Structure 1
Amino acid sequence: TTPGGPGFVLLDSRSTHSWDQGHIPGAVHLPTALIPEQAPALLDRSVPVVTYCWGPGCNGATRAALALAELGYQVKEMLGGFEYWVREGFAYDTWQGPERRDADPLAAPVTGACGC
């Protein structure tokens, strides 16, 4: 993490092809199958990790969280995954550069706040 940063590492556990298609800015890319081998070199055990995958229909973030927990990391899952990040209108990066889509009115308010 960086000073003034969020206090956690955001980890994208999808394949390289999926990462290239789009990922959350600032995320670390580490496919689930590579976690046991590469996590110790990429992640600090003292910093919490938040995993994400495609979306609610995918259990990739859950499997990544389990793999990290088994290695002693503090871990949580990001609900909604990449799908809802994009559907709620947040910017994302692709292999071609930054992109952003309008918010989906079924996932986020078109104007104003959600009132949660």
Structure 2
Amino acid sequence: MTVTEISAALRMPPAAPAEAAAFFAARLAFQADVSDVHASLESGAPGFVLVDSRGPEAWAQGHIPGAVHLPTAEIPGRAADLLDSTVPVITYCWGPGCDGATRAALALAQLGFHVKEMIGGMEYWTREGFPVKTPSGTTRQAPDPLVAPPGAPDCAC
């Protein structure tokens, strides 16, 4: 097979299995998806505190029920008063196009907290049809069939 015949997806060959396992295990140690966060919150004993790192206007527009509001810029001054350092934290922000949850997770880790980032943020939380607390009450949108199978509780992945 010549270079021009190699699959575009395999121009850079896959990593060795041990390297791939370490990489994917690390990703899972640093990130949680919205479906797993939702299932954990619904269990009544999630084992973590969910932190919304967005600003006051975004929080007021709508947030995940049970989340703690702690804007990223306020983490250094307020995290120790709001959060128990023995309880893991999961951060979220707007969505995949925003790195606010990453910055918040970094700030918390630098303060000694065990932390993960919820990938997908509010965008995917909402798109999967999970509850959002708004000034007028808790609402849910119909799940977007591009991110959640209609009628199923999750993607079963």
For the superposition of Structure 1 and Structure 2, which TM-score range results when normalised by the shorter chain? over 0.9
Larger Rg: 2
Report whether the alignment pairs 1:115 with 2:156.
yes
Instruction: Write out aligned runs for 1:18-97 (5 A).
Output: 18-97=58-137
Aligned-partner residue type, residue 118 of structure 2? M
Aligned-partner residue type, residue 69 of structure 1? A
Aligned-partner residue type, residue 132 of structure 2? Y
Residues matched between the structures, number? 113
Give unpaired runs (5+ residues) of structure 2.
1-43
Query: Which is richer in helix?
Result: 2
Out of 91, 100, 106, the position equivalent to 2:140 is 100
Aligned-partner residue type, residue 141 of structure 2? R
Q: Distance in 2 between matches of 1:64 and 1:91?
A: 23
Q: Give deviations 1:50-92, integer Å, cap 9, x for gaps.
A: 0000011100000000000010000000011111011001111
TM-score by length of 1: 0.93
Out of 49, 52, 57, the position equivalent to 1:9 is 49
TM-fit CA distance, 1:115: 3.3
TM-score by length of 2: 0.69
SS of residue matched to 1:78:
strand
TM-fit CA distance, 1:107: 1.1
Give unpaired runs (5+ residues) of structure 1.
none
- Stretches of 4+ aligned residues off by more than 3 angstroms: none
